[in-house]
Amino acid sequence: MKKAERAAHIDKRLEELYPVVPVPLDHKDPYTLLIAVLLSAQCTDIRVNQVTPHLFKKADNPKSMVKLSVQEIEDIIRPCGLAPRKAKAIWTLSQMLLDHHNGEVPNDLVELEKLPGVGHKTASVVVSQAFGVPAFPVDTHIHRLCQRWGLTNGKNVVQTENDCKKLFPKERWNKLHLQIIFYGREYCTARGCDGTKCPLCTEVYPNRKNPKVVKKP
């Protein structure tokens, strides 16, 4: 298969496997999604979903959040790891939303990336999942699978994102990035597949004999 053929096959198969893809992080609006995504850095979605109900019970909007101290936020989110840094970012970005955006989360990548603790991936997740703006957030699952599927050379997540945007229709980006994540967790895990074992790896590379060496992001 050529690269475009592999991409088309993968797109079709993932839509068959995951016709409905829920957003993994529990939230009720753009603000709670932003906080949940920030907390998910180096933490599992399951753990984040265990912690956020306690945090959002105290503060589920910027105005309420800045009434808490950074220490109070830190104590609640400690199970998510990197608590001091994340707590400071949550408090500060909440104040910035009040000062510069009337307490609303902007639906613009550039504005989101100005907020502390919000990198390109986090901003991409928020605009795609909260506002429906086409984006292709690349996490470790997507970076790993796209290398195994020969869709990118794996130099870095920026390159992987750019390659995926060229290969897949824009209207598929928001759903497809979630479908790849679900597939990576279920079938093509870091240790469970080496590029020669899971269904899609064997379908797009039926003659591959040796494990695919994956470059870390």
Shared domain for 110 and 35, answered yes or no, is yes
Shared domain for 125 and 144, answered yes or no, is no
Q: Give the integer Cα–Cα distance in Å for 174 and 142.
A: 13
| Contact in structure between 105 and 130 (CB atoms under 8 Å) | yes
**Could you tell me if residue 70 is inside a domain?**
yes
**Could you tell me if residue 12 is inside a domain?**
yes
Please identify, among 131, 150, 169, the residue that sits at the C-terminal boundary of a domain: 131
Shared domain for 64 and 125, answered yes or no, is yes
Shared domain for 10 and 76, answered yes or no, is no
Catalytic status, residue 99? no
Shared domain for 78 and 64, answered yes or no, is yes
Shared domain for 118 and 196, answered yes or no, is no
Give residues with Cβ within 8 angstroms of 152, minimum separation 6: 146, 159, 160, 163, 164
For position 96, which CATH number holds? 1.10.340.30
**Could you tell me if residue 163 is inside a domain?**
yes
Domain count, the chain: 2
Shared domain for 114 and 164, answered yes or no, is no
Place of tokens 């603000």: 31
Give residue 21's pLDDT: 95
Give residue 217's pLDDT: 79
Shared domain for 107 and 154, answered yes or no, is no
Catalytic status, residue 194? no
**Could you tell me if residue 217 is inside a domain?**
no
b/e 66-95 (16+ beta carbons within 10 angstroms → b):
bebebebbbebbeebebbeebbebbbebbe
Please identify, among 131, 152, 174, the residue that sits at the C-terminal boundary of a domain: 131
Q: Give the integer Cα–Cα distance in Å for 178 and 83.
A: 26
Angle between helices 140-148 and 157-167 (to 10 degrees): 60
Q: Which of 139, 165, 175, 212 is catalytic?
A: 139
- For residue range 62-97, list pLDDT tens digits in order: 999 999 999 999 999 999 999 999 999 999 999 999
- For residue range 36-71, list pLDDT tens digits in order: 999 999 999 999 999 999 999 999 999 999 999 999
Range of the domain at 87: 30-131
Of 155 and 196, the one with more pLDDT: 196
Shared domain for 48 and 100, answered yes or no, is yes
Shared domain for 9 and 39, answered yes or no, is no
Shared domain for 140 and 120, answered yes or no, is no
Residue 141: band (very low, low, confident or very high) from pLDDT cuts 50, 70, 90? confident
Looking at residues 139-150, what average pLDDT do you find? 94
- For residue range 172-186, list pLDDT tens digits in order: 999 999 999 999 999
Q: Is the whole model's pTM more than 0.85, yes or no?
A: yes
Judged on CB neighbours under 10 Å (0-12, 13-18, 19+), 23 is middle
Shared domain for 40 and 9, answered yes or no, is no
Q: Which two tokens stand for residue 134?
A: 């086409």
